[in-house]
Amino acid sequence: MANNKKERPEKTTILIPCTDIEKIDLILYHAIPMAKVFGSSLTFLFMGNEFALGLFKSEIEKKTACSDYADKIRLMHLKASSAQFPVLEKNSDDEEAIMVIFPQLPTGKIKYFSEVNFIKKAGKLRLPFMVLQPGAQAPDWNPKKVILPIGSSRSDKETALWASYFARFGTSEITVLYAKEKSSIYDRLTRGNVRFVLTLFRKLQLVANVIHAQTHSGKIHREAAEMAHKEGNSLLIISTTRHFNIEHFLLGPMELETLKNKEKIPVLCINHRKDLYVLCS
C-alpha cells in the first residue's frame, strides 16, 4: 500500500469535553492513536471548579508522564455552568479542531431521549466525532483495520477521505463493505458511491479491500461492527443522519445504535454539512 506524500494538516487539535477523572484512561487509550494519525494535539475542555481542575490536571500529568504525547496535551478550564455544545462550536473555530471525542453518552432519567437529543446536537457540529464506551479492546488499540460501510446514502462517500488518513499516515488497511440492495434504485446509488470511494483511493495511491455485504444499507452498520470485531483492533467510520424526522426521535438514528454496538468497536462519525471541515486530500 503506497502512502501519499502530502503533509498532514498542521496545528490541529482534537477537542475532548470532560469532567470525570475516571474516564482519563479510556480517553487516552483512544485519543492518542487518533491524534498520531492526524498529527494533532489533544485539548481537554474541563468543566468544573478549581479544586476539581487541580485533581484532573494532576491525573493527566501522571497518566502521560512516560508518553511521547505528554507535551501535546492541553487543558482548558471552562465554567461548570457552560453549555457543552456552544462551547464546542466556539472552540472548534478558535482551536483549529479536527474532531471531537466525547467520553460517553449522556445519562439521565429519560436516558434514551437524552441520547437521541445528544446525537442530534453532535450531528450539527461541523466536525467528525467519536463517543467512547468502556469495554474489551485490543491490548494496545491502534486500528490496523478501518471498516467503511458504503450504502445508498450520498453522505456515505464523504467518509472515504477520513478513512484514507489512517492508511496514509497510520498502519491501517481499509475495507469497503458494499451494501447489498434489494431495490434497483438503491443499488444504483450504492454502486455510484462505491465508485466514488474507490476512485478517490486510487488518486491517493491507496488500495482498499472490497467486500460485498450480506445486508442492505439499513443494516450494513450492524454487519460492519461484527466484521470489525472479528478482525480485531479496528475502527468503524460511518456518516451521520442528515435530516432528523419523527422516526429518528422515536427509534433513534442509525449512528446511535452503531455507537452503542455490543462489540465495543470504536466508531468515528462523519458529519456532512456544506461548511464541514474537510481535510486536504
Residues 185 and 78 placed together within one structural domain of the fold: no
Whether residue 18 lies inside any domain: the answer is yes
Encode pLDDT of 128-143 as tens digits.
Answer: 999 999 887 778 899 9
Residues 258 and 162 placed together within one structural domain of the fold: yes
Q: What residues does 45 pair with on adjacent strands?
A: 17, 76
Residues 149 and 97 placed together within one structural domain of the fold: no
Encode pLDDT of 237-281 as tens digits.
Answer: 999 876 665 655 656 678 899 999 999 999 999 997 555 445 555
User: Which of 103, 136, 154 is where one domain is finished?
Assistant: 103
Tell me which DSSP letter residue 169 carries. S
3-state secondary structure of 54: helix
pLDDT of residue 39: 92
pLDDT of residue 80: 57
Higher pLDDT, 106 or 275: 106
pLDDT of residue 233: 94
Domain extent for 172: 145-270
Encode pLDDT of 19-74 as tens digits.
Answer: 889 999 999 999 999 999 999 999 999 888 888 899 999 999 999 988 888 889 99
pLDDT of residue 214: 96
Examine the pLDDT at 103 and tell me if it is beyond 90. yes
Q: What residues does 209 pair with on adjacent strands?
A: 175
Whether residue 112 lies inside any domain: the answer is no
Whether residue 235 lies inside any domain: the answer is yes
Examine the pLDDT at 5 and tell me if it is beyond 60. no
Per the structure, how many domains does the chain have? 2
With beta carbons less than 8 A apart as the criterion, state whether 237 and 163 touch. Answer: yes
Can you tell me the distance from the alpha carbon of 9 to that of 19, in angstroms, rounded to the nearest whole number? Answer: 28
User: Which of 70, 103, 136 is where one domain is finished?
Assistant: 103
On the CB side of 28, CA atoms within 13 Å amount to 21
Share of the chain above pLDDT 90, in %: 60
pLDDT of residue 3: 43
Question: Which among 61, 69, 83 is positioned nearest to 17, based on CA atoms?
Answer: 83
β pairing state of 41-47 and 13-18: parallel
Whether residue 276 lies inside any domain: the answer is no
Residues 97 and 156 placed together within one structural domain of the fold: no
**What's 172's domain CATH number?**
3.40.50.620
Residues 34, 35, 37, 38, Cα dihedral to 10°: 120
